[in-house]
């Protein structure tokens, strides 16, 4: 293990702190841990495996840190509503995750991928049902959304420009019976993984990516259609992001469940519906007696382009996040509301009201993070939970 | 387009017919269609793209056909129960799929991957809930199952030996910020796919495979544990199989939903529970007034090894399938019940009753195929459906 220390020139905002901690794993494959002290000046401590070229990595780190610090987001998030509980938060995200694991309610299948059992599984399914009911109350019809998304769908949506590094690419072996038989004969059970490098596959040009965000296939489905007055749908979908060393328990996992609500219609109706979705967020804080804040937000950035887009998002208030407290000084974004303007309407040629380009907005609930925040705020004895949360659990 | 005809020496069983139609796409990548006439002798018609080497493909086809015809399964399936409706089946699988597509209830995202809307989505979710309630009635606790499965889990389970060709492999780009930035700058929106061949990725040795069968992560979760009297769980999971040219509408898709029930316990209890699961299958035919048959079955084969295992499965009655009618002469396997003996108990060191090696069995409902069969048997006007099926639909 080797360590590189970088002293920053001044304290950084919470937002920039998150960006550094997430993005610096991408500087070099040898980086195994990234930490940022709270001190003034803050010190970045980056650990590398012994095989890494420290001098080279340090140079790349300095370039990357400089680029991130010089991508200012001049607009501060605006708080829409906030709710605090006087009795404080029981546990941090890490403590909660450890307790859930110790109880056998969360078991690892892969880094960032888990099986849930017991009250964790009950809460997960109960919340999805509650969010689904809530969507139905807003007039949403259920849709079934796939997790395999065409690479062309995401390319068209522009998703890959800022997020190619986080995508989970899917491929298959090309049709060649004798090559596959040879490969299979060499397999040894359970040891050393597999080596597909000699087989013809679609890996160089993968046809599918695992859904990074729930709503994309809906716009493709509506392509070339006129939705009339409006189209409102709700679906549950498993989403996937590879976040390298930044994956952390239930706080940031590789596979997670999202309940999504999508509204497509005229500009005025979309704006009104978006206001309703923000209202839903505030009401949920009250209904479940959770500590959290609803504020304007921006998507994480990885490249220059996406950094500029953040300023655009924040100044036009295109994105809101509902952040739930886990621990006294930590939050997780447990839901987001996104206003797209006519972006997807133009992209996929979707009309409303007999010919106008359609506008759209969507909301996604990150169910796993709701579970994390609820256990962190109220502990593991369901009898101690507020009644509205107990009622979410299956009878 | 080029065509190769192969005259078989004698009529083939339904089972062998399916095997030929599925497996021959794997003979060569240039094969675009495989068809088998009903005549005596049956004639195999194989279409290839113009770029294919017909002479070479024909030679490989003859070898493959000979191998499949010489892998006899001497044991015939045994019918456990059968139910027929006097009024016949409305539509074939292809007709049903075309009608669902025309109504906009099924929209393609990728070959074999769909978005469902309208009554198709309602039926899908309603059935999952009905199967989940049924599982709860059998004492099952809900679990949440991931779709990303560790390659090592499936390697250990022996899954890849017979099914490496059908696996959907998942990879990510290695941490290398500058390489990724270069790649992203070359992306052009929506045209020509992407080319990742120059980037360092985990593709040669993928860490994950998309769940080909729902229950594997459960055994891993129980690894090293004693489940006491029994462990009964039910979970919904998206499953994935790449089946080349044999993918066909909702009959055989690349992504599909499964409601799974898993029982782990003593041998006597597992045998009794399996009998209960078979009973559930018979009762469902009656409850939903569906035409279908419950019979012993075997997993599809691809290599010699898996062909031998089929005989083993059939003679010991390890696998049952509930096949629902779609069209007058066609069925789809809509549920399967599998008895594993102590295979997974030994593999994952799972005990029951304070130290005995645990036995297990499972049942999976293929929800998409249930939807297909229900629309095929009862049409698209929900008012015409039997009451028990109407009641499955959300209010």
DSSP 3-state of B9: coil
- Among residues A57, A12, A80, the alpha carbon closest in space to that of A284 is found at A80
Distance CA B40, CA B12 (A): 10
Classify strands B319-325 and A331-341 as parallel, antiparallel or unpaired. Answer: unpaired
Rounded average pLDDT over B79-95: 91
Q: What angle do CA B19, B23, B29 make, to 5 degrees?
A: 160
pLDDT in tens, B282-301: 999 999 999 999 999 988 77
Q: Which of A110, A204, A218 sits opposite B150 (nearest CB)?
A: A110
Name every chain B residue with its beta carbon within 8 A of the beta carbon of A60. Answer: 177-178
E-only strand ranges, chain B: 2-7, 31-36, 43-48, 79-83, 106-110, 113-116, 141-142, 148-150, 169-171, 208-210, 230-240, 255-265, 292-296, 319-325, 331-341, 351-352, 356-357, 359-366
State how far residue A196 is from chain B, nearest Cα, in angstroms: 5
**Inter-chain contacts counted by CB atoms under 8 A, chains A and B:** 288
Q: What Rg value do the Cα atoms of chain B yield, rounded?
A: 22
Question: B168 at the A interface (CB within 8 A)?
Answer: yes
d(CA B345, CA B24): 35
Q: What pLDDT, on a 0 to 100 scale, did the predictor assign at position A304?
A: 64
CA distance B86 to chain A (A): 33
Mean pLDDT of chain A: 92
8 Å CB contact of A160 and B205: no
Contact A167 B173 (CB under 8 A): yes
The answer, yes or no, to whether residue B236 has pLDDT greater than 90, is yes
Average pLDDT over every residue of A106-128: 97
pLDDT category, B34, cuts 50, 70, 90?
very high
Q: Is B56 exposed, middle or buried (0-12, 13-18, 19+ CB in 10 A)?
A: exposed
Q: Is B145 on the interface with A (CB under 8 A)?
A: yes
Percent of chain A with pLDDT over 90: 74
Report residue B305's pLDDT band, with 50, 70 and 90 as the boundaries: low
> A232-243, pLDDT tens digit by residue?
999 999 999 999
Burial of B386 (C-beta count, 10 Å sphere; 0-12/13-18/19+): middle
**pLDDT value of position B227:** 97
Closest partner residue to A208 among B110, B218, B302, by Cβ?
Answer: B110
A208/B124 touch (CB, cutoff 8 Å), yes or no: no
Mutate which of A67, A117, A160, A176 to disrupt the B interface (most B C-beta within 10 Å)? A117
Residue of B nearest to A115 (CA): B145
Position B349 scores a pLDDT of 97
Q: Please answer yes or no on whether B207 and A122 come within 8 Å at the CB atom.
A: no
CA distance A373 to B311: 51
Chain A residues within an 8 Å CB radius of B26? 175-177, 180
Contact A167/B at CB under 8 A: yes
Mean pLDDT (whole number) for B136-142: 96
In Å, how far is A293's CA from the nearest CA of chain B? 28
Gap between the Cα atoms of B282 and B214, Å rounded:
22
Q: Are A215 and A140 in contact (CB under 8 A)?
A: no
| CA nearest neighbour of A281 among A93, A67, A138 | A138
Instruction: Indicate the range of A333-342, A346-355, B312-321 predicted with least confidence.
Output: B312-321
Asked whether residue B143 carries a pLDDT value surpassing 90, the answer given is yes
Chain B residues with beta carbon closer than 8 angstroms to that of A190 = 152, 155-156
**Rounded mean pLDDT of B322-349?**
95
Rounded mean pLDDT of B206-212? Answer: 96
Q: What is the mean pLDDT of residues A376-389?
A: 96
Contact between chains at B148 and A110 (C-beta distance less than 8 A): yes
pLDDT band at B73 (very low <50, low <70, confident <90, very high): low
pLDDT at B197: 92
Contact check, Cβ <8 Å, B205/A193: yes
Average pLDDT over every residue of A327-347? 94
B64, B124, B172, B214: best to mutate for the A interface, most A CBs within 10 A = B172
Partner residue opposite A242 with nearest CB, options B150, B172, B200: B172
For chain A, the straight-line distance linking the first and the last C-alpha, in angstroms and rounded, comes to: 50
Residue B190 has pLDDT above 70, yes or no: no
Looking at the predicted structure, is the pLDDT value of residue A11 above 90?
A: no
d(CA A155, CA B188): 8
Whether residue A190 has pLDDT greater than 60: no
Interchain contact, B201 vs A201, CB within 8 Å: no
CB contact under 8 A, A173 and B155: no
Q: Could you tell me which of A356, A343, A112, A305 has the C-alpha nearest to residue A215?
A: A343
Predicted pLDDT of residue A162: 86
Contacting residues for B316 by C-beta, under 8 A, at least 6 apart: none
Say whether B152 and A193 touch across the interface (CB within 8 A).
Answer: yes
Distance CA B3, CA B37 (A): 14
CA B181 to chain centre: 39
Average confidence (pLDDT) over A109-131: 97
Residue B21 contacts A where some CB pair is shorter than 8 Å: no
Find chain B residues with C-beta within 8 A of A169's C-beta.
Answer: 170-173, 196, 201, 203
**Which positions 231-250 of B are in contact with A (Cβ < 8 Å)?**
233, 235, 238, 240, 242, 244
Residue B303 and residue A113: Cβ atoms within 8 Å?
A: no
* Banded model confidence at residue A39, pLDDT cuts 50, 70, 90: confident
Q: Which two tokens stand for residue A264?
A: 């497509």
Rounded-to-integer distance, Cα B212 and Cα B360, Å:
18
DSSP string, B211-268: -SSTTHHHHHHTTT-B-TTEEEEEEEEEEE---GGG-BTTTB-SEEEEEEEEEEE-HH
Name the average pLDDT for chain B: 92
Contact B257, B232 (CB under 8 A): no
pLDDT band at B332; cut points 50, 70, 90: very high
């Amino acid at each position: 293990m080797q360590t590189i220390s970088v002293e920053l020139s001044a304290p950084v905002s919470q937002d920039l702190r998150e960006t550094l901690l997430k993005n610096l794993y991408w500087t070099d494959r040898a980086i195994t841990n990234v930490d940022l002290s709270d001190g003034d000046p803050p010190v970045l401590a980056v650990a590398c495996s012994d095989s890494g070229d420290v001098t080279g990595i340090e140079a790349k780190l300095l370039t990357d840190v400089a680029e991130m610090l010089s991508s200012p987001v001049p607009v501060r998030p605006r708080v829409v509503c906030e709710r605090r509980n006087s009795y404080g938060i029981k546990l941090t995200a890490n403590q909660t995750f450890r307790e859930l694991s110790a109880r056998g309610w969360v078991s690892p299948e892969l880094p960032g991928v888990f099986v849930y059992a017991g009250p964790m599984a009950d809460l997960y399914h109960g919340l999805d049902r509650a969010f689904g009911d809530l969507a139905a109350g807003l007039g949403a019809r259920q849709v079934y959304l796939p997790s395999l998304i065409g690479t062309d769908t995401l390319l068209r949506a522009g998703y890959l420009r800022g997020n190619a590094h986080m995508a989970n690419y899917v491929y298959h072996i090309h049709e060649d019976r004798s090559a596959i038989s040879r490969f299979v004969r060499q397999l040894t059970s359970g040891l050393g993984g597999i080596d597909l490098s000699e087989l013809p596959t679609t890996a160089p040009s993968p046809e599918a990516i695992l859904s990074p965000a729930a709503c994309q296939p809906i716009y493709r489905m509506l392509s070339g259609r006129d939705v009339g007055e409006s189209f409102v749908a709700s679906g549950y979908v498993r989403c996937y992001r590879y976040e390298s060393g930044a994956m952390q328990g239930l706080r940031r996992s590789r596979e997670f469940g999202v309940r999504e609500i999508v509204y497509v219609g005229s500009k005025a109706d979309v704006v009104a519906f978006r206001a309703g979705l923000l209202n839903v967020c505030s009401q949920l804080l009250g209904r479940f007696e959770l500590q959290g804040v609803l504020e304007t937000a921006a998507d994480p950035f990885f490249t220059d382009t996406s950094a500029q887009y953040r300023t655009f998002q924040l100044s036009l208030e295109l994105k809101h996040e509902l952040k739930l407290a886990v621990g006294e000084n930590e939050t997780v974004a447990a839901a987001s509301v996104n206003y797209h303007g006519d972006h997807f309407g133009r992209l996929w040629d979707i009309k409303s009201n007999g010919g106008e380009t359609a506008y759209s907005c969507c909301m996604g609930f990150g169910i796993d993070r709701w579970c994390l925040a609820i256990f962190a705020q109220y502990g593991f004895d369901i009898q101690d939970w507020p009644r509205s949360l107990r009622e979410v659990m299956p009878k």
